[in-house]
């Protein structure tokens, strides 16, 4: 890999030879997945592609929702699953495997990991994100990025920033106060930038506090580059560009996908008329050239990979990540002398990844039935129990019940069908399909030994929880998930996953629920810091399963929690953990910090360190954690900096946020005097006045639907006759991406929601040059009933 100086030298040489037009042309893609090349200077076109848990390299039709075919690649477990491993080394290794697959396909940059915070359990894309906790998110993303980039393949950490819902994601204005932004939504990005320098950061579609992320000077230039020292390139999410020239000024480098150079013209004009300083353009072009130069290895190495070895790695990763939620009376592991039946269509046609841009074409799929047949060397007894779509079928339930009567234990595999969670829309409730709940209840009537295996990308309710002895959360475990489930069910792998998110009892228990998904054009984060366990633990809210929870087939005891050393700069804490059970296993030690008698609004406790330890039966290990001052700090709304409040803190060490095993008291000194704004009292869900005091201004008035603009969505314009016709046309065009196969109901739903959420400008940006900005202007005039002006425009173009 070239070093920084030689890259810079090559970039500088190229830059001086570029014409203004060539510079502008580099600022957007050549097509859906490639950067622009410049033949006369030998600048190649490099490819970027999704991500994050496998490679979605499309060769024919292209789209940003995973509709058209892509080359086969290993489907590793999705982020929600991998995160539950709490295993930074494992995640780095998965990153390395992904990089090899990218190198085989000449892909320069993998568009992932997704690292938005799970603000609410219903976000449709939660399966693609790591956690509700920023510290955990940052640590895992850093490992992932380091793993991929070790092989000179780039990453794109996404979606920067505050993109925590799918509803209206392309236009919504997210209002968030500075402290919440700094403590919840940004620290993950800050960690990965400072500790892994991702080659690229992908900006989100939405607006933050009134500005689109694609032209957010504060987020891109001030925070990302100036404060955190980001050296790479910022790319738009696909179709997220709002105003190209403003974007350049704000530090947005690459617009994707390409829209046939339509924005290049605007860039050139702006430089010529003086509204854009060419130096700002040069900085952008330098960063794009640097990415191209760095990508040379990717486009020349043509590496190969071993499909089976990668499949086995996917199985291992899934096995290390799945979470044993409940295991009464040691119902698991199963013994080979017990008779079992497998019930649930997901055991045969598994749901192992989510729908949307992250959806890959796997090299193979290994279901639970496949794995059990192999393990038991016989065809396992199976009943479907429900239709694949989730529909209730009384006949299928009766068959399952009959089967369950005759065996010792019934493994019932249920979860969320594709139509329940996907990119482009949010879930509407937290329940499993009725048919799945009914199946569990019915089977349970004839066989009390029901082992529930869940396949879903985000929390679900479990009305039958007290009736079943065991529940395994397999999440969306990738193409080898069936093997991993089988490994855990039979004890070949000792479960060691821990939830990276809370499973609440009801949606109403979540503080964000009152403002999710918000209004069509605005969502106000009035819950502030009350996200996930921070809220549940601070306000003693009962939960179904707490953050960090996960059982094992062995037991762990904690001893000798102690502070080894303390200076002004850091505290070293240690604890000894022993495997006191009878099988080998892994424990995730979780360290939380609590400020006692705090004068400011503060969560009861915050995760600040963790470590996964592998222990043989009877073995003990001493684990040390080094905590810097930042681990004890809060972001002051008054001083606009990280500050430490003087006084006493508890360092808690535990097996989940609700299973603290030991605590040590430390005292910190600090000069900082808490200011009234830090100490201001708020409700769990802030009032408008409380929120405005933190925001420093009033909540902006809601935008009216009319007059229509280029940022009106296709849903907005459906109130007009012309709007309905435009919608129809776009749907017809999208249908072209499906090829000869009829799309499923779930895919149709995703496409419909995606289309409705698109602003008019993205018809140009995602249209590959088929539509021009002037045509959108013309359409907007018509939609607003300005027929004369539209006619004028039409005639002017005719001349
Ligand atoms: C998604 C991104 C993805 C891009 C390209 C967008 O719809 O939000 O995460 O990388 O499409 O497929």
Q: Is 529 in the pocket of ligand 1 (CB under 6 A)?
A: no
pLDDT digits (tens, 9 = 90+) for 604-644: 999 999 999 999 999 999 999 999 999 999 999 999 999 99
pLDDT in the model for residue 769: 87
pLDDT in the model for residue 1: 55
Q: Which of 173, 237, 370, 678 is catalytic?
A: 237
What are φ and ψ of residue 470, in 5° steps?
-140, 140
Return the residue whose CA atom lies nearest to atom 11 of ligand 1: 64
Q: Are 783 and 456 in contact (CB under 8 A)?
A: no
pLDDT above 90 covers what percent of the chain?
90
**3-class SS of residue 47:** strand
Q: In what order do the strands lie in the sheet with 340-343?
A: 323-327, 470-473, 450-455, 409-415, 340-343, 381-383
Predicted TM-score (pTM) of the model is 0.97
Query: Active site includes 87?
Result: no
CB contact set of 62 (below 8 Å; sequence gap of 6+) = 31, 32, 33, 68, 257
pLDDT in the model for residue 799: 62
- DSSP classification of residue 265: H
Model confidence at 791, pLDDT cuts 50, 70, 90, reads confident
Please state the rounded mean pLDDT for residues 282-311.
93
pLDDT in the model for residue 450: 98
Q: Which atom of ligand 1 is nearest to the CA of 128?
A: 9
pLDDT digits (tens, 9 = 90+) for 433-451: 999 999 999 999 999 999 9
Examine the pLDDT at 727 and tell me if it is beyond 70: yes
Q: Is 253 in the pocket of ligand 1 (CB under 6 A)?
A: no
pLDDT in the model for residue 798: 62
Q: In what order do the strands lie in the sheet with 200-203?
A: 47-49, 107-110, 154-160, 200-203, 233-236
Q: Is 111 in the pocket of ligand 1 (CB under 6 A)?
A: yes
Examine the pLDDT at 708 and tell me if it is beyond 80: yes
Q: Is 357 in the pocket of ligand 1 (CB under 6 A)?
A: yes
Closest CA to 90 of 53, 144, 54, 51: 144
Please state the rounded mean pLDDT for residues 480-494.
98
pLDDT in the model for residue 299: 80
Token reading at 545: 């399963």
pLDDT digits (tens, 9 = 90+) for 305-344: 999 999 999 999 999 999 999 999 999 999 999 999 999 9
Q: Are 646 and 672 in contact (CB under 8 A)?
A: yes
Please state the rounded mean pLDDT for residues 264-281.
98
Return the residue whose CA atom lies nearest to atom 3 of ligand 1: 357
Model confidence at 742, pLDDT cuts 50, 70, 90, reads confident
Cα distance between residue 711 and residue 83, in whole Å: 35
Ligand 1 centroid to Cα of residue 138, in Å, is 20
Mean pLDDT of the chain: 96
Q: Is 57 in the pocket of ligand 1 (CB under 6 A)?
A: no
pLDDT digits (tens, 9 = 90+) for 376-414: 999 999 999 999 888 899 999 999 999 999 999 999 999
Q: Is 238 in the pocket of ligand 1 (CB under 6 A)?
A: yes
Return the residue whose CA atom lies nearest to atom 12 of ligand 1: 64
Ligand 1 centroid to Cα of residue 622, in Å, is 43
Ligand 1 centroid to Cα of residue 238, in Å, is 6
50 burial level (CB within 10 Å; 0-12, 13-18, 19+):
buried
Q: Is 50 in the pocket of ligand 1 (CB under 6 A)?
A: yes
Return the residue whose CA atom lies nearest to atom 7 of ligand 1: 64
């Amino acid at each position: 890999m070239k070093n920084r100086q030689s890259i810079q030298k090559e970039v500088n040489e190229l830059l001086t030879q570029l014409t203004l037009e060539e510079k502008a042309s580099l600022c957007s893609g050549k097509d859906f997945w490639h950067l622009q090349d410049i033949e006369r200077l030998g600048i190649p076109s490099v490819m970027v592609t999704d991500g994050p848990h496998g490679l979605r390299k499309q060769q024919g039709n292209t789209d940003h929702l995973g509709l058209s075919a892509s080359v086969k690649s290993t489907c590793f477990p999705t982020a929600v699953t991998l995160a539950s491993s709490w295993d930074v080394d494992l995640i780095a290794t998965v990153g390395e495997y992904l990089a090899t697959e990218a190198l085989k396909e000449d892909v320069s940059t993998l568009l992932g990991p997704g690292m938005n915070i799970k603000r609410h359990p219903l976000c449709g894309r939660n399966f693609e994100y790591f956690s509700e906790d920023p510290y955990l998110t940052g640590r895992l993303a850093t490992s992932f990025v380091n793993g991929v980039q070790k092989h000179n393949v780039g990453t794109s950490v996404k979606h920067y920033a505050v993109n925590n819902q799918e509803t209206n994601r392309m236009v919504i204005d997210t209002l968030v106060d500075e402290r919440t932004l700094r403590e919840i939504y940004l620290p993950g990005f800050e960690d990965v930038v400072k500790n892994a320098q991702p080659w690229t950061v992908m900006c989100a579609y939405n607006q933050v506090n009134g500005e689109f992320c694609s032209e957010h000077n504060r987020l891109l230039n001030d925070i990302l580059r100036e404060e955190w020292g980001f050296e790479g390139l910022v790319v738009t999410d696909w179709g997220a560009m709002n105003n190209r020239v403003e974007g350049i000024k704000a530090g947005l480098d690459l617009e994707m996908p390409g829209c046939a150079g339509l924005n290049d013209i605007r860039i050139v004009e702006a430089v010529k008329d003086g509204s854009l300083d060419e130096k700002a353009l040069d900085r952008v072009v330098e960063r794009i050239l640097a990415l191209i130069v760095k990508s040379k290895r990717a486009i020349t190495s043509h590496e190969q990979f071993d499909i089976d070895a990668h499949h086995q790695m996917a199985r291992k990763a899934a096995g290390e990540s799945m979470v044993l939620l409940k295991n009464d009376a040691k119902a698991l592991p199963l013994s080979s002398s017990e008779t079992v039946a497998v019930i649930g269509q997901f055991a045969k046609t598994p749901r192992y990844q989510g729908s949307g841009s992250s959806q890959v074409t796997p090299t193979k799929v290994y279901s639970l039935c496949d794995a059990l047949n192999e393990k038991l060397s016989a065809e396992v007894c199976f009943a479907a129990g429900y239709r694949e779509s989730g529909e209730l079928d009384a006949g299928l339930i009766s068959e399952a019940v009959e089967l369950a009567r005759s065996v010792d234990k019934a493994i019932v595999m249920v979860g969320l069908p594709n139509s329940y969670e996907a990119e482009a829309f949010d879930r509407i409730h937290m329940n499993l399909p009725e048919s799945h709940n009914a199946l569990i209840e019915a089977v349970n009537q004839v066989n009390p030994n029901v082992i529930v295996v869940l396949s879903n990308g985000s929390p679900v309710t479990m009305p039958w929880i007290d009736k079943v002895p065991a529940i395994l959360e397999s999440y969306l475990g990738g193409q080898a998930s069936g093997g991993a489930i089988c490994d855990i069910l039979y004890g070949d792998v000792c479960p060691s996953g821990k939830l990276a998110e809370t499973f609440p009892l009801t949606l109403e228990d979540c503080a964000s629920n009152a403002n999710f998904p918000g209004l069509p054009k605005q969502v106000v984060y009035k819950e502030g810091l009350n996200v996930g366990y921070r809220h549940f633990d601070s306000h003693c809210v009962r939960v179904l399963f707490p953050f960090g929870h996960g059982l094992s087939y062995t037991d762990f005891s904690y001893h000798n929690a102690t502070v080894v050393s303390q200076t002004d700069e850091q505290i070293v804490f240690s604890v000894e953990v022993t495997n006191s059970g009878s099988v080998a296993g892994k424990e995730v030690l979780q360290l939380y910090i609590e400020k006692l008698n705090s004068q400011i609004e503060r969560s009861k406790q915050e995760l600040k360190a963790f470590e996964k330890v592998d222990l043989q039966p009877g073995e003990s290990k001493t684990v040390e954690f080094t905590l810097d001052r930042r681990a004890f700090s809060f972001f002051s709304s008054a001083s606009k900096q990280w500050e430490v409040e003087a006084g006493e803190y508890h360092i808690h060490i535990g097996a989940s946020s609700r299973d603290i095993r030991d605590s040590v008291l430390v005292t910190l000194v600090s000069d900082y005097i808490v200011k009234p704004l830090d100490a201001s009292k708020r409700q769990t869900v802030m009032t408008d006045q409380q929120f405005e005091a933190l925001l420093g201004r009033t909540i902006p008035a809601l935008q009216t639907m009319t007059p229509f603009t280029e940022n009106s969505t296709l849903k907005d314009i459906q109130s007009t006759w012309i709007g309905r016709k435009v919608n129809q046309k776009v749907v017809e065009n999208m249908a072209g991406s499906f090829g000869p196969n009829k799309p499923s109901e779930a895919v149709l739903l995703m496409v419909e929601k995606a289309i409705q959420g698109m602003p008019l400008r993205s018809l140009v940006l995602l249209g590959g040059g088929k539509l021009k900005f002037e045509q959108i202007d013309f359409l907007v005039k018509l939609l607003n009933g300005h027929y004369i002006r539209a006619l004028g425009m039409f005639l002017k173009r005719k001349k």
